[in-house]
């Protein structure tokens, strides 16, 4: 009589869930930053009235705006993760958002001239099972600028779709003497922190 022994082998297979990132913004800077670190995303723009947020504290303002944007965009599938953000410039207890015209741009750059100001970005990440909210701060110092330098800059198209009326990633780089903190936060998204905060949501670079 021949006895045949069969051995059973159990192999543990770890299945990695793939999540889909939804960017609740049409901001070209935020899109470029996510593309820079090879994170695929889909744009689903929030349709909100930002003027309903009346707070004057810059940290509270970017928090509330990030939440407002993030909650306005629906989660259409269980595998989606929504990323929303808002950035403001703050100096001397004033919030500088996007200037409405050349006079506002001139006033903002003149106020920041030679001084240190703060840039705050509020970020909300939301999925079906959880969400987080945080604020990143960067300090920026401008060189002392002549009136001719200010006029030359505000005559360009650059200031008018950017908080604080300048873009550090382009011509506005000429205005900046130094920064303390995350450079990308000034552009519009604290990129390295966002990458790390997305990992628990199942989104990896």
Positions annotated as catalytic residues are: 86
Q: Which residue has the tokens 């940290």?
A: 59
CA 11 to chain CA centroid, Å, is 42
Closest by CA to 53, choosing from 71, 68, 75, 38, is 68
* Cα separation, 99 vs 92, whole angstroms: 17
- In 3D space, the residue among 72, 171, 57, 167 whose CA is nearest the CA of residue 120 turns out to be 57
Question: Whole-angstrom Cα distance, residue 151 to residue 175?
Answer: 12
- Transcribe 156-196 into DSSP letters: SSGGGGSGGG--TTTGGGGGEEEEES-HHHHHTS-HHHHHH
Element (H, E) at 123: strand 116-126
């Amino acid at each position: 009589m021949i006895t045949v022994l069969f051995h059973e082998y159990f192999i543990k297979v770890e299945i990695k869930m793939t999540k889909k990132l939804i960017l609740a913004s049409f901001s070209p800077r935020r899109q470029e930053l996510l593309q820079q670190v090879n994170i695929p995303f889909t744009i689903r723009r929030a349709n909100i009235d930002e003027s309903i947020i009346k707070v004057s504290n810059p940290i509270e303002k970017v928090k509330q705006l990030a939440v407002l944007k993030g909650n306005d965009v629906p989660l259409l599938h269980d595998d989606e993760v929504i990323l929303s953000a808002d950035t403001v410039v703050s100096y001397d207890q004033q919030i500088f958002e996007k200037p409405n015209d050349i006079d506002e741009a001139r006033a903002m750059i003149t106020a920041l001239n030679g001084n240190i100001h703060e840039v705050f970005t509020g970020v909300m990440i939301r999925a079906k099972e959880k969400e987080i909210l945080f604020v990143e701060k960067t300090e920026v110092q401008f060189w002392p600028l002549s009136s001719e330098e200010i006029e030359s800059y505000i005559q360009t198209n650059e200031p008018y779709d950017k908080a604080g009326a300048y873009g550090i990633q382009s011509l506005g780089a000429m205005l900046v003497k130094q920064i303390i903190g995350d450079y990308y936060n000034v552009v519009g998204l604290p990129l390295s922190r966002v990458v790390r905060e997305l990992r628990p949501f199942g989104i990896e670079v």
